[in-house]
Structure formats: C-alpha cells, structure tokens
Structure 1
Amino acid sequence: MQPCDLTSTGGATIASRFYEPPGRPRAAVVIGGAMGVKQDYYAAFAQWLAAQGYLVASFDYRGMGDSRHGPLRELRADLFDWAADFDTVIAATLLRGGGAPLYLIGHSLGAQLPGLLTHRDRVAGMVSVAAGSGYWRDNAPQLKRMVLYFWHVLVPVATKLFGYFPGRRLRKVGDLPVGVVLQWRKWCLNPRYHVGAEGTPVREKFEGARFPLVALSITDDELMTERGTHVLVDCYANAPRRVERIAPADVHARRIGHFGFFREQFQTSLWQRTVLLLQGFQPSQETAA
C-alpha cells in the first residue's frame, strides 16, 4: 500500500492509498466510500482485490479521515466538492493504470456521486454496494421512524450551534462539513434525490453516464431499501443497469446489513462475486496479472 496526497479543486489535499498488484494490473479500481466512513474501513478489501491482480485506490473526501486538515467548522465544502475529490483520485489512478480499464466500487454515497464525475466517460463499469436514493420515504423502516427528526431538528440545530455537524458526538453518521450535510438534507427530502433536488444540470449529467452498472441490494440493509436502490439506479437513465438482491442466507451468514459487505468473512463469497462482476463488464480489455 502506497499513501499519496493528491490536490483536488480549491487546493484541497486528498489522502489516497494505492494498492499495487503483484504484476501488471488486469484493471484499475477506485473505491468510493460511504458517508462518514474512513478509507481505513475498506483496507482489507482493497488489499485482497490487489492480490487478485487489480490496481486499487481508496481515499477520504475532503474534511474526512486523513483528508481532514484543521477545524471542520472552517471548511467550506459540499457534495459537488466531494465528487471533484472522487474525480481527482480517478485521474491519478488512470495515470498509474497504464491504459487498463477503470472500474468503480461505490459503497452507499460512493455510488450516488459518479453521475457527477468529469471522468465518467473513462469509467468502464461500476458495482454499487448497499446504495439507494436516500429519499426519506424510501429509507428502511427502522430509519424512517426517526429520520424526519434528524433532518428537521437535529441537523439544523446542531449545524447552527457548532458550525459543522458533530456526528461523532451525537453518534449519527460522523462529523460532516456544514455544506455537505445541508446539501445531503436537501437531497434526502426530494423524491428524486439529487436529480430532483438539483434540477436539470445534475439530471443531464447522470443521463450522460454510459458505463454499465450493477447494484447489489442487501435484503437486511438497515438503511436502504430495494425501492431506494431502483430509484438511484434509474438516475443513470442511459446506462446499462441492473439490481441484484443478496440475502445473508445466500452467503451462509446471519447478517450483512449496510456495512457488512466489506468484512473479511466474505472473501470467498461477496468479494469473489465482485471480481466476477468486474470481469463481466469488459472482459476483453482485462489483461492477465
């Protein structure tokens, strides 16, 4: 693993990590993380994927994890900035990849942003993991019971008091820049999520995405529902796309949930399935490791 600081828009320093395969990469993969989740969480999966012959990159969005520099209340950033950070990592990965096809693995938020990417035409395919639109009515039942309080009371009050969202203190999501959490709130209160909340420019960007997309929807996801996953996938209106449902029983597990996919216990099941999906996007372009 090679840590690497990259410079994104506005001069933001983005902490990334590159996991090199033992030989020539068969393809490159960028992992887009979930809201409030550090790239550390994906390290075991990234190392395993590199051992399968892939050049793998992970990163922390500006203000998150190792990309947090200074007080969060002083950071001016929104989700468009985070999409720019994603783009920055993709550009660096393309340079390292030596012409190998580039794929995305997006966990939750990491599958919601790629329609905004400048480099979406360079993406050969995306596997979406436990991702949905985020619209509150499409949230899982246990989340829906408290989400309106979260959006209409907790987020406005906390950001006003602290100048950022103190999620660690509140045990909700994690610390977030005020611009990120308020834009996310706007998205989650719209039935069409970002495409609806931001209007024509964002809708047209998503419609411009042509890379194939497979969305893995987890039956015991405590945050996302199958309906929400379909809403998100359909934002990529002109991309070849499908949703695959995965139940814990399918992989002989008691639970997967929103975050379990990246646990090492799933190396021979869910992780191997991911490799097969990547190979299925453009197998003719992959080279032997």
Structure 2
Amino acid sequence: MQQHTTRCADGGEVGLTLHSKDSNQGPVVLIHPATAVRESMYWPFAAFLITKGFRVITYNYRGVGPSARLPSNQNLTMHGWMTQDVPAVTAWAEQSLPDASLLAIGHSLGGHAIGLGGNSKPLTAAALIASHAGALRLVRGRAERLRIATVFRAIVPTLSRLSGHFPARMLGIGEDIPSAAMREWGRWIVMKDYFFSDPLLDAARQFAEVDIPLLSIGFDDDPWATAPAIDLFNAHFTKATVDRRQIDPAANGNGPIGHMGFFRDRNRETLWPQVADWLIRQANFPTVNIDQEISGPTRILGGQG
C-alpha cells in the first residue's frame, strides 16, 4: 500500500491509499466510502480486487474520524465531499495512473459520488453497493424510523451546538464526522425524495447526465437501503444502463449482510466475485473466472436506460 495526498479545489488535502502489486498495470478502481466509515474497512476487498488484476484507491472523506475535530474540517458537508474530495481523488488517479480504465465502487453515500458533481465523466463503469435515496419514509420498520428521527431531531441539533464535530463513535454509530455534514443529511432525510427534492442541489439533472453502465446491488436485510429506496435512487439515472440485483442473505449462507456486511471477508467466495467479474467485463480486461455463473442468493431485477 502506498499513501498519497491530493489537493481539493478549496485548498484542503485528502489522503488516499493506492493498493497495487508492483507489476500490476490493470484497470483502476476508486472505492467511494459510506458515511462515517474509515477507508480501512475496504482494504480486504481491495486486496481481493488486486488478485483479479486491478489497482485500487481507497480514501477517507475529510473530517471523518480524528480529523473531524480539526477546525478546518468542521464546516464540511456531504455535498462538499462530492464536489471537492471526490473530484480531487479522481483527478489524482487520472494524472498518476494514466492510460488505465477508471472504474468506481460507491458504498451507500459513496454512490452519491457517481451522480453528483460530474464525477462519472472519467469513469468506464461503476458498481453501487447499498446506494439509495435515504428518505426516512423508505426505511424499513417503525422502530428504526423512530430511532433515526430521534437522532436527527434531538441528538444532532443538541450536539451540533456544542461542537463542530458529531461524536458518532461515542454513540456507537460510526466514525466522528463534521456536524455540518450531519445537519445536511438530516435536512435531506425528511424530504419526500431525499436530496432529489432539494432545490439547492439540482440532483435529478446531474444524475440524468450519467451515461455509463451501472451495477446496483441491494440486500433484503438492509433496513436503510431497501429495494424501494434503491429503485428511487436508480430511477434518476435515466441515461445509464443499470444492472439491478437484489440479494437474499439467507440464501447466501454467510450470515447477515445488512448495510455494511458486503465488505466482510466472509463474502469473499460468494458476493465479491460478482462485483469483480462485472467490473472486469466493463473494463474489457482479461483475467480468470470472468464468466462466473450468478446463482442462489441473487435476483436479477432488470435494467434501465
């Protein structure tokens, strides 16, 4: 692994990690992380992709983890991550690893990076893992909706007044992130169609400009990225061809998956090859097992575009 930094348009710096074998000149995969998740969660999956011939870039959004406490990071928002951090990492990949196909994986919030800010333009294709429109009305279960509503209506406003960082780690809900990002997220979740209803964002127009192949995967036991929430998100990719798959964890046989579980090592033999082989086909990159048969836990829900 090689550590690097790249500069955003606003002058801030983003740290990133390049995962690669010395002799590897294959396609490059950017992994855009979920909210309040450190890049190290994706390192086992990055190591798996290396065995398939890819080079992989992982990174943290600014203000995630200990850096959330830095005054320079406390006004960062989710939209800012998409329009500052993601373009900076993408530009670094283009400049430092030229002449390679560039692909992406967006996990949850990371899927926003494909639709917003023109970030799909350099890409050959992208896979979306549990990426969804995070409207509260689409969350499964009354108790879970109540829990989320309590966090955003009571805890977030209170703690935001006390500090510029939200102590998610102390609350057991992930890594610390800027309070500004949490407030923006809280504003979006109560909108009918999530940030597609935000007139300040113009998200629907931006999503409609994406014209690359997309793989979109959801999991039946995920209470947040439910099938309706994923389908609402995907519906705005009006020019893209979307390969939509829904996975039953019980049939997968490796235990619960939920919102975060896809990247656990126990899915190395069942779920990970589906994404790797799809990316291989999109990059037209020869390697082993590219025609693995999809069976068992996966339902193909069709495409669009």
Same topology, TM > 0.5? yes
1:35 & 1:177 partners in 2: Cα distance?
A: 11
- Tell me, yes or no, if the aligned pair for 1:165 and 1:181 is still in contact at 8 Å: yes
TM-score by length of 1: 0.91
**CA offset at residue 186 of structure 1?**
1.5
Higher relative contact order (CA 8 A, sep 6+): 1
2:50 & 2:133 partners in 1: Cα distance?
A: 30
Asked whether 1:176 is paired with 2:185, we answer no
Listed as ranges, the matches of 1:140-179 within 5 Å are 140-141=140-141, 142-179=143-180
- Tell me, yes or no, if the aligned pair for 1:73 and 1:164 is still in contact at 8 Å: no
Listed as ranges, the matches of 1:123-138 within 5 Å are 123-138=123-138
Q: Which residue of structure 1 lines up, in the alignment, with residue 78 of structure 2?
A: 79
2:63 & 2:181 partners in 1: Cα distance?
A: 10
Question: After TM superposition, which residue ranges in structure 1, 4 or more long, deviate above 4 angstroms?
Answer: none
Q: Which residue of structure 2 lines up, in the alignment, with residue 10 of structure 1?
A: 10
Q: Which residue of structure 2 lines up, in the alignment, with residue 277 of structure 1?
A: 278
Q: Which residue of structure 2 lines up, in the alignment, with residue 48 of structure 1?
A: 48
SS in 2 for 1:15: strand
- Tell me, yes or no, if the aligned pair for 2:195 and 2:201 is still in contact at 8 Å: no
1:212 & 1:74 partners in 2: Cα distance?
A: 34
**CA offset at residue 162 of structure 1?**
2.2
- Tell me, yes or no, if the aligned pair for 1:46 and 1:56 is still in contact at 8 Å: yes
Q: Deviations 1:229-269 (Å, cap 9, x if unpaired)?
A: 11111122221113200112333222111111111111121
Asked whether 1:89 is paired with 2:85, we answer no
Size of the aligned set, in residue pairs, is 286
- Tell me, yes or no, if the aligned pair for 1:129 and 1:216 is still in contact at 8 Å: yes
SS in 1 for 2:88: helix
1:11 & 1:231 partners in 2: Cα distance?
A: 35
TM-aligned CA distance change 1:16 to 1:35, over 3 Å: same
SS in 1 for 2:153: helix
Larger helix proportion of the pair? 1
TM-aligned CA distance change 1:119 to 1:107, over 3 Å: closer
Q: Which residue of structure 2 lines up, in the alignment, with residue 265 of structure 1?
A: 266
Q: Which residue of structure 1 lines up, in the alignment, with residue 299 of structure 2?
A: none
**CA offset at residue 23 of structure 1?**
3.2
2:262 & 2:186 partners in 1: Cα distance?
A: 26
Of residues 171-180 and 183-192 in structure 1, the stretch that sits farther from structure 2 once superposed is: 171-180
**CA offset at residue 95 of structure 1?**
2.4
Gaps of 5+ in 2: 289-305
Residue identity matched to 1:155: V
Q: Identity of paired residues, percent?
A: 23
Of residues 233-242 and 182-191 in structure 1, the stretch that sits farther from structure 2 once superposed is: 233-242
TM-score by length of 2: 0.87
Listed as ranges, the matches of 1:200-211 within 5 Å are 201-211=202-212
Residue identity matched to 1:55: R
- Tell me, yes or no, if the aligned pair for 2:218 and 2:227 is still in contact at 8 Å: yes
- Tell me, yes or no, if the aligned pair for 2:136 and 2:145 is still in contact at 8 Å: yes
**CA offset at residue 139 of structure 1?**
1.2
SS in 1 for 2:161: helix
Residue identity matched to 1:112: H
Q: Which residue of structure 1 lines up, in the alignment, with residue 238 of structure 2?
A: 237
Asked whether 1:139 is paired with 2:139, we answer yes
1:69 & 1:152 partners in 2: Cα distance?
A: 21
SS in 2 for 1:203: helix
- Tell me, yes or no, if the aligned pair for 2:131 and 2:216 is still in contact at 8 Å: yes
Gaps of 5+ in 1: none
- Tell me, yes or no, if the aligned pair for 1:261 and 1:270 is still in contact at 8 Å: yes
